[in-house]
Structure 1
């Protein structure tokens, strides 16, 4: 009888639901916040939400014993995001939060999740503030930083002979920060910034700015604009003939910014962590995503959200816990073979480092199928793209 009892206990311990009892009720709760502001509405706020849903479904297909529940809100504003996350933690017992749209809300949310020993995954550009004393041991910076993108772009164009740069960057903190990282990369390589202009957000006429840029005879006009302003500037640059002179380079461009306007965006250089036509895995993801979004292809942020969600869930499953410190330790242990970004290594400071791809927007006659907007120019290795300190002295850990 004793033998049979031990055998039954062994069988019970091997059952998935019991073996992973450290995850309460075998349920993982993820929170997701996104930006629905008018300037970026062409990107469709729901797109990143769909990417997260796809990752949850793909994970669930291989881990049926775990139930993943998502809490979403795409009406993100700096004044309501921290309160929303606090309610999620106190009332819904959320296990991780993926992304926020507002930079002003990111640091308090990061600290809040650190105190609860829960993971905060940063994908969007709010990652600008997470270094040095602001580094958190439970914040995972999965999105490619402006420094990684701009330094990769500058490096590749410098190798191609670009020495003189002129900036047109929106008069906004985020755009100015992106420009500063590019300036540092240019001067570090011995290049020269010959001018800069900062039009206000929502500018409808960039003709004066473009003429001022041309007067300085730059090798590159670097554009620190996003969304509708980027599209307006590219359209006016092409139709005025400016785009046929110096190289045009976008400091932070999403594929959906240029999709459908290849005639005006053709020839634009940019750096990206993902593009849809890079390999079979990215093409399959883009095909499935496009089917879900009814013809809209994935942006780079969408791919990063999918990638981060999948990596997070796999780590939770591996350690059988939702504790942030355990999850971060698991993520750092070995390189992650990511289907969309390539090999990802999580550094000691929580930065997910991977290759960056410098591409050029195709001419309309070169784009032969949906999501086929970029031609590859160069691949920048993770060690070159993600420079800076790997151990910036994060706080010791969760407070509870």
Structure 2
């Protein structure tokens, strides 16, 4: 079932106001004795990251289909709610869904502040919280929870993978332009530490008010005048796109290596290769990475034909599929009764899916898989509009993600 923009907005607005339900898979008939699951996604389809989030429902649907929930005799519903980038909205929706709608698990809450707030609610209600979109390392650090899994990426992984490889390629001096909230601040801290540990230098940084800034010219002029070899962007979505456009207009891409610490291939297609070419970025998934990623993309793209899934959307697919495997292993009644037990079962089972391949979930809830340093192709290198990235380097899970002992997760034994 393809989800149009109008349908998505109508559903999310309705859910935020009181719990409108969108069925991600048609039911197959039967009576009240059929096993039932109700899942939820809390996201944002109106702000600067809207287009990045739109394929999420399609990916959750694909997980249901690939696991054949209908053939197993399960009835599964997915609710879609919109938090408008406000933590209190996300908390209100989560509480209503757990208390009134009978939601059994949340499949994503896609920003750092909202996910940390909802993590506390999920732990209080003993419900599974599976996160793909947020970047904060606190989810597997001091604010880790036995009810939470953090899939796909975090700021440490992006900064470590990009910073290490770019310094190694000669990018030894950096200037940062970043959004002035927890996400942007953490990216700059993590990347600065990696650059300096590898012998590079940070020559400066500029933070801008989020989400009210659209003109980045003065920040980019400061970056150019710093003499740094690398312009690193600690932002995402429309902000990142505007930075790249304006940097292209000023010719910064001819004098500096531009590294986006969070770019999705969705962004590159919006920008176009003429503007974005040679941009470096780290990905955890890309549709054309291997035969398995291409097979997944072929299955899901009829549901989202224009906005093909990015790595965060792919994470929703993979974590939903692994959750369903754990539920099947435990039995639906036991899974519905104890969210922490579901998470424990997910950690005990090896992961394997077409988006990320084989992997595992660590004790602190961190999902481990390789990172991929990639570069935007030139127009001459691209075969078609979705062919936008090429692989430069593969980073092992152990090298990409923060070591377990450095996170400070309180329920993990030393």
Question: Counterpart in 1 of 2:204?
Answer: 195
Shift of the 82–151 alpha-carbon distance from structure 1 to 2, 3 Å rule, reads same
Contact map agreement 1:167 1:197 (CA 8 A) in 2:
yes
Q: Which residue of 215, 224, 231 corresponds with 1:214?
A: 224
User: 1:328 and 2:343 equivalent?
Assistant: yes
Superposition deviation, residue 114 in structure 1: 1.8
Structure 1, unaligned runs of 5 or more: 1-23
- Equivalences for residues 142-291 of structure 1 within 5 A: 142-201=151-210, 202-260=212-270, 261-291=272-302
- Report what 1:4 is aligned to: none
Q: 2:393 aligns with which of 370, 378, 381?
A: 378
Alignment match of 1:59 (pick from 56, 61, 67): 67
* Residues 1:130 and 2:139 are matched in the alignment: yes
- Output the CA distance in 2 between the equivalents of 1:383 and 1:128: 15
Scaled by the length of structure 2, the TM-score of the pair is: 0.84
Structure showing greater Rg: 1
> Are 1:125 and 1:143, in contact at CA under 8 Å, matched by a contact in 2?
no
* Residue number among 304, 308, 314 corresponding to 1:303 in the alignment: 314
Q: State the 1:378 CA deviation.
A: 0.2
Assess if the C-alpha contact under 8 Å between 1:127 and 1:141 holds in 2.
Answer: no
Aligned match of 1:29: 38
1:88-124 deviation digits (Å, cap 9, x = unpaired): 2122222111211354443342222223322111112
| Equivalent in the alignment of 2:20 | none
| SS class of match (1:39) | coil
- Indicate the RMSD between aligned Cα atoms, in angstroms: 2.2
Aligned length: 372
User: 2:216, 2:294 → 1: CA distance?
Assistant: 35
- Which residue of the partner structure matches residue 81 of structure 1? 90
Q: Provide Cα deviations, 1:317-341, integer angstroms capped at 9, x if missing partner.
A: 1122312233222222243122111
User: Equivalent residue of 1:197, what SS?
Assistant: strand
1:362 maps to what in 2? 377
Rounded to whole Å, the distance in 1 between the matches of 2:347 and 2:121 is 22
Matches of 1:223 and 1:380 in 2, distance apart?
21
**Structure 1 position 75, deviation (Å):** 4.6
- TM-score w.r.t. the length of structure 1 is 0.86
Structure-2 separation of matches of 1:386 and 1:72? 30
Answer with 259-268 or 376-385: which moved more.
259-268
Change in Cα spacing, 1:192 to 1:339, as seen in structure 2 (3 Å) is same
Q: Does 1:47 align with 2:58?
A: no
Deviations 1:9-33 (A, max 9, x none): xxxxxxxxxxxxxxx9522221111
C-alpha distance 63-333 of structure 1, shift in aligned 2 (>3 A): farther
The correspondence of residues 327-346 of structure 1 with structure 2, limited to 5 A, is: 327-346=342-361
Partner residue in 2 for 1:94:
103
